[in-house]
Structure 1
Amino acid sequence: MSCNTRVSSEMANEIVSEIFESGCPMLDESVEIEQPLCDSGLELRVSGYVRSMSQAVTLVLAVERLKRRSRKPIGSEFSDLDLLNILMEHVNEEHVDLKVFPDKESFARELSRRRADEPHSICDAEKKSWVLNELDGLPTELTAMMLQGPNISQQVTLSLSTYIPQTQPGVGQPVVLGIGSSDLFLSCSGPDDSPALELEMVQDRGDLKTIHTGSATVRFLFYKRDSGSTSSFESARFPGWFISTARNVERVRVTMCNGRTTAGRVTDFQVSRI
């Protein structure tokens, strides 16, 4: 004997609520549940999309529960756990590894100076301080050496200016490094395979008020990356090249090196606000 009765609204609402509460937001407001034949079980019509296999399994379990409420339980009937195990043994959820390749052009932007000429002391991880060597007839050089007692006055005061915004997440704080109250600034330029650290004279500091990452002035820009009590300085113009000092050797020029762990070079510095 057939009976063309509809499932009560209370029962339909209960099942739909059960699906949503189980973390399966795949149904819209148009849901119709019918029972065309009592002997044939229930028919569930769903508007929307099943977004994952776990949602499909949740839906099947909900339908099975609804079916059981309309008929007498059978001893051999699958439990929720049995049905779930059977389904998952035969179906593997698809996993997709998403790799994001940033568009380099999206990082080409203008950086504005936020804080200018903040005085800092600087020494490398071996406690060697930066010192200016100014010899007659020779270009001024930046070297590193141990300083004690009255010689501490030879230590360079680093004039550090920070810029915003950060060009790429995780690369560090964009900074420009000057020498004390002078017009000398550190820059990195040269061929791609061997860029050099230079001391350049900048007569108008206003030229460094803004720096576009695609312009020539990007040679003055470094990324200050902090790690514990030390910091490293990576060239913005030459990624992977870091300011460094000679390991276990004094009075040697401060230069660039390729990589933070280059043999014989120190790339970690202690930088403190004065």
Structure 2
Amino acid sequence: MEITRKVVSGYSFGKTVLHVVAVQKLRKGISYCPRRFQDTDVQNLLNDIFVQEEEILTSTKAFVAPKYKLLGTKECTMRDRQNKCMTLHQNPEGAQLVAIYLNGVNIQREEKISMSFYTARNLDISEKRPVALGLGGKNLYLACSLEDSEPQLQLENIQIPTHEPRVLTHDRRVPTHERRALKWVEQSINNISGVKDEELPRFLFLKSENVSTSSFESAAYPGWYISTSQAENSLVGVKPQVDQKYIREFLVLP
């Protein structure tokens, strides 16, 4: 609720009538006035009649519910239909997600996926569930953005500065146990829960299930799905549903 105070002039049609009355009184007063009528006399008379009024305007701002609500997060692994694993590759262009076959000790290279589940009141999703997909233990999330007039999948680093007061945890004057307890305030919010509603759609994918596999459609670009190539050691990207050369069915494993 917002209350606004506004001072408005007292001059109105009703006050104009009073003005006429005041003039009549003024005329009568002149004949009986023992001294010359001064400008201040007129001002005092008008001040007695015209009084500034304070008008209180009340405007109500309705509460707007958020478009998206985070329900919870679980950790899993994702492999495409051919059992290729998701791995993280760092290169000069940045972090990239690559699908390759892993076995034996190499399986340790497989990335855990942090899958965050949402409700959305502005999406026509029927049986689909909005999810955000991040790399477990990292602040990297899959995001779909438009580049060269075509949606592209990328790993985006989420870092949202907190407004908490910073604590110098290396300060030796602070006891060790307190430095540990206060260390968290130096961190940024590095997960999807800190992303604002208007920025969230590019991170959301509509998860639909078909027997043993799942597909992930971009919420920002309907008809475009997270996909892998038939070939090994290829980037994970987004492709249109009509492009059958790519794999868009994934196994979601605990």
Q: TM-score range by the shorter chain?
A: 0.5 to 0.7
Aligned to 1:134: 90
- Tell me what 1:254 maps to: 236
Matched residues, number: 160
Is 1:198 matched up with 2:154? yes
> TM-score, structure 2 length as denominator?
0.58
> Which residue of 162, 166, 173 corresponds with 2:117?
162
Give the Cα separation in 1 of the matches to 2:127 and 2:151: 19
- 2:124 and 2:227 map into 1 onto residues whose CA distance is 23
Contact 2:215 2:250 in 1 (8 A): yes
Matches of 1:197 and 1:251, distance apart in 2: 16
- Distance in 2 separating the partners of 1:206 and 1:128: 26
Identity of aligned residues (%): 32
Partner of 2:212: 229
Unpaired runs of at least 5, structure 1: 1-107
Could you say which residue in structure 2 is the equivalent of 1:179?
A: 135
Cα deviation 1:162-219 (Å, max 9, x = unaligned)? 001463242510000000110000000015951000100012246635753xx23210
Q: CA–CA distance in 2 between the matches of 1:163 and 1:189?
A: 20
Q: CA RMSD in A?
A: 2.1
Aligned-partner Cα distance in 2 for 1:237–1:127: 27
TM-score computed with the length of structure 1 as normaliser: 0.54
**Cross-structure match for 1:272:** 253
1:123 CA displacement:
0.3
Q: Is the 8 A contact 1:111 1:210 kept in 2?
A: no
Deviations 1:67-110 (A, max 9, x none): xxxxxxxxxxxxxxxxxxxxxxxxxxxxxxxxxxxxxxxxx961
- How do 1:44-193 residues align onto structure 2 when only pairs under 5 Å count? 110-116=67-73, 118-135=74-91, 137-165=92-120, 167-170=123-126, 172-191=128-147, 193=149
With over 3 angstroms needed to count, the CA separation of the structure-2 counterparts of 1:174 and 1:192, relative to structure 1, is farther
- CA gap 1:240/1:114 in 2 versus in 1, 3 angstroms: same
- C-alpha distance in 2 between matches for 1:171 and 1:237: 17
Contact 2:145 2:153 in 1 (8 A): yes
Cα offset, 1:240, TM superposition:
0.3
Matched residues in 1 for 2:234 and 2:151: separation?
17
CA contact (8 A) 1:158 1:179 kept: yes
